[in-house]
Amino acid sequence: MKINYPDNEEFYSLSFYVDKRVLIPRNDTEVLVDQVIKTLKSAQNQDISFIDIGTGSSAIVTAVTKNTPISLKQIFAVDISLDALEVAKINIEKNNIQDKVSLYNSDLLQIFLSWNKKIEAKNLIITANLPYIKNGDIENMDQEVLDNEPHIALFWWEKTGFEMYERLIWQVFELKKNNRFQEIILFIEIWFDQYEYSQEYLKSLWLKYQYFKDLNNIFRCIKIQF
Ligand SMILES: C[S@@+](CC[C@H](N)C(=O)[O-])C[C@H]1O[C@@H](n2cnc3c(N)ncnc32)[C@H](O)[C@@H]1O
């Protein structure tokens, strides 16, 4: 993978400005966006808000906002990195959705858990493409990616790489309980070797889930219903 910054990258047929502050959106992530759009198309209830966690370049939130078949009540995008949020703002303006999307600096869903302003919808869709590459995998990484892309976007220095998603899942349970949502649907992207581990984990929580394959026919996207 050859990286030249600053650059414009295409994702979901939209153009995104990228530089060293964000992960370059990957084509495989389009599968997750497809599944969100499909879920919105078949939604019986149209009282839905949307949150994209770890928004980076804003690829997911922009693609969903530009292609949603229904009017979403509120749209939020969060990132723990202030640098990434600056790039997200550029792309949200570039794609002319600044009136629809609110950007926040937050560690996962923390801002919504501590916020006294409640999310104004009975249903919520959350997307998250979080850092999921574990410690031991660093030696298999493309040097160009290691030298250029922000490590906060790639690595989660623990055993399975799924730990940040586990923390997010517990936050979703808490958010659902606090705000009395009818339903929350979480879409996450995982690394190719997390299929079995993630399935065992979701089963242990009695959650309803479905896996989707990426462009290389590998299970990389999970839809989880709360
Ligand atoms: C793999 S990148 C994904 C970027 C973009 N969503 C995409 O799909 O191209 C992960 C993003 O998560 C952010 N991030 C890392 N830890 C986070 C946390 N605890 N809370 C919120 N965002 C986090 C990083 O700053 C980075 O922008």
Q: Find out whether 225 and 207 touch, Cβ atoms under 8 Å.
A: yes
- Assess if residue 46 is contained within a domain: yes
Residue 217 lies in a domain: yes
Instruction: Provide the residue range defining the domain that includes 180.
Output: 30-225
Going by alpha carbons, the residue nearest to atom 12 of ligand 1 is 54
Q: What is the CA(170)–ligand 1 centre distance, in A?
A: 18
- For residue 204, being part of any structural domain is answered with yes
Report pTM.
0.95
* pLDDT at site 140: 82
Pairing outcome for strands 75-79 and 101-105: parallel
Q: Does 88 reside within a domain?
A: yes
| Residue stretches of the chain with pLDDT short of 50 | none
Does residue 138 fall inside a structural domain? Answer: yes
In a domain, 9, yes or no: no
Position of tokens 């499909």? Answer: 38
| Residue 156 pLDDT | 66
CA–CA dist 108, 75 (Å, integer): 15
Q: What is the pLDDT of residue 157?
A: 62
* Total tally of structural domains belonging to the chain: 1
Cis peptide before 6 (omega within 30 of 0): yes
- Helix 59-67 crosses helix 30-41 at what angle (to 10 degrees)? 30
**Ligand 1 in reach of 58 Cβ (< 6 A):** no
Q: What's 70's DSSP letter?
A: S
Q: Is residue 17 part of a domain?
A: no
**pLDDT in the model for residue 142:** 86
Is residue 1 one of the residues assigned to a domain? no
Q: What pLDDT sits at residue 116?
A: 62
57 Cα–ligand 1 center, Å: 9
CATH number of the domain residue 167 falls in:
3.40.50.150
The kind and range of the H/E element at 224 are strand 219-225
